[in-house]
Chains A and B, each alone.
Chain A
């Protein structure tokens, strides 16, 4: 029988060795791009000289940039709130269905999340098409006025949020459904015996029991929603009047389309410190709650 070399007989060494692929992936796909973006954000437009934080201070003087900041926050907050509410309601609805019938509903509800967003958003674009919108065609059949889905600032914002909610709500649904299923049934039985109503059970059993999942899901969704690109790119390209640009699409416009990569990198990095703080606070609370439950 062959004997393993001494190094491989030590458990920590094996553990480190087995983590190497993961470290390599994180280094190559997360750390390197991040530090390269940081590096780019400190260069001048021609990428020939180090300019420190000049790109960031320059951005702070741009009207359009601050509009993008406001829009991104509005987009993320409204979309995440609606995704969470719809996901929670849908998860409850599905959870009340007998287990046997749940699978098909889960499958159907997940479809928007499973389809590549660029493709499904193209379908939405056909529905919202500026001149020949399929929805407007239907509205006019009922003598209702056509809606400027993509050509008016309010409706364009509404449209991108609507599509984001449509795509993202199933993620909340599946997470909440899993959390709901993990709540021991005895808690509800005891509450029933104590005469608790549905709302009391929801507020005093369900919500506290899935609070960690809500926090993690919300954090994850805020990050993903703030970084959204494809929906805006396909539906509005940031228009009209730059009113639907998010950080990613504006960074793309400035950096890739206009050839100012350092400024584009600065735009895309702008939210990083805030998201990092948010992530730290939420994850710390999750850890504390988990520890107290244990």
Chain B
């Protein structure tokens, strides 16, 4: 009897063990329908109402798929999004899906699961992704992030068309019309020298151009397109230090001349300061996504109806616009990766992207080119009519981000260490000679390049 009982216990344990091992090894067949929970840490949108729209979309998807979705919106002010990602990646716990701005994917690639199957599905059905976005998220031969339905943005010139016309004699609405009737020959004259002359006129009228020369992401962004348009790079594609170049010296000389017409407070600005500068009516121009206009529409409509978004000025090496791609990545500690993959596929569908485009009043730029065709949000935005028509890049601008063209991991660190604004501030405020400032940048970049 005793032997029989012992044998049954052994048999039971063996059977249960085999069943458990089988269950662990078995593929997750039912995908999202197998329910479970998904926690999302998403970027907190600047535009009023966009978070609510996204939460509705995600909740509805959760209800339809039997997944309990929880969303935390995390602000990027004070780098909180990056800090939260850093904390979660080191702790190995937190959200399942996390929003990653361009520099974050390379920084956290070791903790992000490849999502090749998801992204290849999306690209095969919806067409190619912006090349600069591929550069940020296709790392070591694998996709480490999937296109986010929100957050991707660019930094066009956001100017007061009335002030430009009155003080600088430039009719921005004519130069960058809200139609396809662009005149490339005239736009060719929209270069940094023309911009500086306009900035001088605006400054004289007490309505200066303002952009951060402080260690803040917006500071890195606008300097990224300025530096690129002069062909000035910190580190090249091969990861070689190239900051000590004529192009860098030339762009720094230009910055010294431009900064004369900027407010002194730009050295302490954060990402919200340039918005406030324009919304208050004090500023004549900034480089920013349409959030400043969207908030002005609510808080200061008299300013909003004079705002115009248009191309960035051209430099000797071409015309560039800073571009920040947003991806959603799945942490390797996520316990519901199958449902997470399904959700990534869903939020890249054109209907979701179009809904979010409208909810964000055109702030969010789709990463997939074909999604541009699904929406007329930029054409229909007002006041004034056509204010965002040129937010979606229509001319000869190429996209760029701080640190480009360095390899993504290096570029990400150039961006997060804010080397561009620090370098710019050294020559425009710190009293450094250009040679000293370049020497300082070389010293800093050695830290970025070290293994």
Q: Which residues of A contact B (CB under 8 A)?
A: 44-46, 58, 61-64, 130-132, 148-153, 156, 233, 236-242, 253-254, 256-261, 263
Contact = CB atoms under 8 A, between A and B. Distances in A.
Given A58-B450, A240-B429, A241-B429, A151 B83 contact: no
Contact of B268 (A61, A240, A258): A240
Nearest to B444: A64
A260 B270 CA distance: 23
A51 to B, nearest CB: 9
B430 A46 contact: no
Contacts of B82: 257
Contact of A130 (B273, B417, B429): B273
B368 interface: no
B15 interface: no
A162 to B, nearest CB: 15
A61 B90 CA distance: 28
Contacts of A256: 83, 86
A257 B79 contact: yes
Nearest to A235: B268
Contacts of A241: 267, 422, 425-426, 429-430
A107 to B, nearest CB: 32
20 contacts: A46-B451, A63-B444, A149-B268, A150-B268, A151-B214, A156-B268, A236-B268, A239-B214, A239-B268, A241-B429, A242-B215, A253-B417, A254-B417, A254-B447, A259-B86, A259-B412, A259-B413, A259-B416, A260-B413, A260-B447
A64 B429 CA distance: 17
A240 B214 contact: yes
A275 B265 CA distance: 36
Interface string B427-451: 0011000000000100110111011
B416 A152 contact: no
Nearest to B83: A256
Closest 8 CB pairs of A and B: A130-B265, A150-B268, A151-B268, A130-B268, A240-B267, A151-B267, A131-B265, A259-B107
Given A148-B265, A239-B268, A259-B86, 6 more contacts: A45-B451, A237-B215, A240-B267, A241-B425, A254-B447, A259-B413
Contacts of A131: 263, 265, 269, 273, 276-277, 282
A257 B273 contact: no
B interface, over-half SS: helix
B413 A258 contact: yes
Interface in B43-99: 78-79, 82-83, 86, 90
B451 A44 contact: yes
A268 to B, nearest CB: 15
B35 interface: no
A259 B87 CA distance: 11
A28 B213 CA distance: 42
B245 interface: no
B451 to A, nearest CB: 6
Contacts of A148: 264-265, 267-268
Contacts of B425: 239-241
A239 B267 contact: yes
B266 interface: yes
Contacts of B214: 151, 237, 239-240
B215 A263 contact: no
Nearest to B413: A258
B58 to A, nearest CB: 28
Interface string B248-286: 000000000000000111111110010011001010000
A214 B137 CA distance: 56
Contacts of B78: 233, 237
A260 B267 CA distance: 26
A257 B451 CA distance: 17
A267 to B, nearest CB: 11
A149 B273 CA distance: 15
Interface string B374-410: 0000000000000000000000000000000000000
Interface in B211-237: 214-216
